[in-house]
């Protein structure tokens, strides 16, 4: 087997890019009193308002227990409102409040600066191809992830 230096591993490069992205977003969001998960909840609700904790947990890639804690905190800050679902009394449906939408709008204006800076680093063709490469890499990562056995 030929040893490849770790700095040439695609997985290591993807991980470094992900760490840099998260560090940037967390630094920006911290100035708004938001965590990355809270920001993702606000973003998800801005696209499809009226979601359950389970739906938001899936959108954020966290457990339902973690999401319940996040939503309680966001409700206390009046960023979201939650009401029982008309279909299932035990399911709470989260919606954005005006202050949650305003905070998201302000934070988004800073987060999008990075997106524009990244886009500007590539020609239109490079950008298109890079997105295709990332999509293929993501598909491979998903395909290669072992399924979790049902409990």
pTM of the model: 0.81
**How far is it, in rounded angstroms, from Cα 108 to Cα 39?**
9
What is the residue-level pLDDT of the chain in tens, covering all 151 positions?
567 676 678 888 899 999 999 999 999 999 999 999 999 999 999 999 999 999 999 999 999 999 999 999 999 999 999 999 888 888 999 999 999 999 999 999 999 999 999 999 999 999 999 999 999 999 999 899 898 776 5
Per-residue pLDDT, 148? 76
- Sign of the dihedral defined by the CA atoms of residues 47, 53, 54, 59, in that order: positive
Residue 104 exposed, middle or buried by CB count within 10 Å (0-12, 13-18, 19+): buried
């Amino acid at each position: 087997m030929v040893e490849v230096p770790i700095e040439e591993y695609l997985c290591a490069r993807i991980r470094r890019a992900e760490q840099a992205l998260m560090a940037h977003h967390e630094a920006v969001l911290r100035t708004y009193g938001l965590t990355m998960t809270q920001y993702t909840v606000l973003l998800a609700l801005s696209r499809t308002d009226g979601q359950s904790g389970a739906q938001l947990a899936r959108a954020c890639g966290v457990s339902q227990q973690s999401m319940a804690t996040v939503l309680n905190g966001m409700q206390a800050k009046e960023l979201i409102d939650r009401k029982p679902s008309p279909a299932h009394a035990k399911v709470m449906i989260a919606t954005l409040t005006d202050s949650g939408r305003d905070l998201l709008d302000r934070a988004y204006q800073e987060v999008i600066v990075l997106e524009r800076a990244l886009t500007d680093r590539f020609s239109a063709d490079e950008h298109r191809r890079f997105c295709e490469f990332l999509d293929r890499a993501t598909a491979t990562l998903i395909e290669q992830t072992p399924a979790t056995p049902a409990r």
